[in-house]
Chain A
Amino acid sequence: SQQGEEDPQALSIQEGENATMNCSYKTSINNLQWYRQNSGRGLVHLILIRSNEREKHSGRLRVTLDTSKKSSSLLITASRAADTASYFCATDAAGSNYQLIWGAGTKLIIKP
């Protein structure tokens, strides 16, 4: 069954604006990861946040984690056309036995 659920399913914004994507999950986790996928390609790891962390930054990326609400958000600041991609969250649910459980993704389109 699907653990992570991203919203929105699709997001279209102007270049230079900030993009926020959300992920909700259902069970206790050890960590949560965000990945990016360009069309027809493999996924690229962006950032991992552990269950005892609340916020993490990497360049223009900011990830928050609220374990009480079982949710995470990915913020991309000052978006660029090259940020156009699908973004997925994945959780390593406690007791999941080697699985990363994936959401359906948010398709982000940055308009020049």
Chain B
Amino acid sequence: SQTIHQWPATLVQPVGSPLSLECTVEGTSNPNLYWYRQAAGRGLQLLFYSVGIGQISSEVPQNLSASRPQDRQFILSSKKLLLSDSGFYLCAWSVAAGNTEAFFGQGTRLTVV
């Protein structure tokens, strides 16, 4: 069966520090991968998606970047965090674009102080 792992669950980082959030998927090949951010009490904002190794599309300009070094690994990074980067980050995967369900990780609560 397929599983998705996202870590860490919570993270407190000082302003200006780097960030690396990792997400891995097991039990499937060539998934579509997504990074979302969710503001408190709000819906999901798509940050990045990837349809294959090394293929990253960015949906919003921001202080973050994403990479897909392996088929089932998706990394969200920042060189220097801003206070506004605080939020709840969710990784997800799907078999095909939009026509099937998305499977989510448990999320990372990032607080930039």
Contact = CB atoms under 8 A, between A and B. Distances in A.
Given A31-B98, A40-B109, A42-B90, A99 B46 contact: yes
A105 B13 CA distance: 28
B87 interface: no
B30 to A, nearest CB: 14
A33 B92 CA distance: 15
Interface stretch (B63-71, B73-81, B99-107): B99-107
By size class, the interface of chain A is 20 to 34
Contacts of B106: 41-42
A100 B102 contact: yes
A43 interface: yes
Closest 7 CB pairs of A and B: A92-B98, A42-B104, A102-B43, A45-B101, A98-B97, A102-B44, A104-B43
Interface of A: 2, 4, 30-31, 33, 35, 40-45, 48, 88, 90, 92, 96-100, 102-105, 107
